[in-house]
Amino acid sequence: MYQTTIKKSVSLVGVGLHRGNPVNLTLEPLEENSGIIFVRKDVGVSIPLVPGNVVDTKMATVIGKDGHTISTIEHLLSAIYAYGIDNIRVTVDADEVPVMDGSSASFCMLLDDAGIVQQASTKKIMIIKEAVTVRDGDKYVTLTPSDDQTYNFTIKFAHPVIDHQAYILRFSKENYKKEIARARTFGFLQEVQYLRSKGLALGGSLENAVVLDEKKVLNPEGLRFENEFVRHKILDAIGDMCLLGMNFIGNYEAFAGSHHLNHKLTVKLLSNPQNYEVLEVQGSKEREYAKAYA
């Protein structure tokens, strides 16, 4: 099983969630063993995707270098992870990745257009060897050893539409595209009004988020899934786990998880080499792992 990149460069234009300005996004192939590299074309700064470059996790996962940042990277990274892409350059001309429709579906379509190509170097997979957990009160995120990869997420909101939701994704590229990719980010009307008063969420609308008032969903088309909210939380978690630098084998579980807890989880996992093992995928396991990204 070999590392992959995309066959050709592809681009799109969308609105940034917080600034509300148009953002040009380009994905380009990268040579093997390069990883994922973000580039701010407007300021000439390259930011490798590593946990040490995460500078903020309050409202999105934000990476930065030399005082320049790129926000809302998790939806794009979620698609990149699901497609098993090891090496890729992501170029934007602003401080955000465009939000598109609030899901990762547009990024999946962009990657389908780009195509995937194998490279000469063997693919690396991280095997979770020890359970690692991060808690904040009753909230937690954890990674545990397993022979496969699942995402088990539970949320609870004091809202009649959301209430208690739980979902388990048995990870594969096919399952991701069918069950997760179309799930949109969501927010509450009162929060949106507050954020806009602070100069944030200026690009947010019913076109790129599920918005709720105190009782109902405001989007006229309704929900894409009855439990779209928890599915989107899994979408976010997959994007945040991309910070590990490679796909992993293990189980992810969360109750009321967040970008902040996911970041702390990746840092804690990587802080102790006994927590994981990095394998070059070949031999008897190759066909089994390859099926997940077919």
Any idea which residue has 């959301």 for tokens? 162
Choice among 75, 232, 259, 260 that is catalytic: 259
SS3 2: strand
Are 58 and 51 in contact, with CB atoms under 8 Å apart? no
Measured at the CA of 129, the angle between CA 123 and CA 133, to 5 degrees, comes to 115
Query: Could you confirm whether 259 is annotated as catalytic?
Result: yes
Using an 8 Å Cβ cutoff, are 30 and 87 in contact?
yes
- Classify the C-alpha dihedral 78-80-86-91 as positive or negative: negative
**From CA 238, how far away is CA 173, in angstroms rounded?**
12
Q: For residue 150, which amino acid is it? A: T
DSSP string, 142-168: EEE--SSEEEEEEEE-SSTTTSEEEEE
Catalytic residues: 259
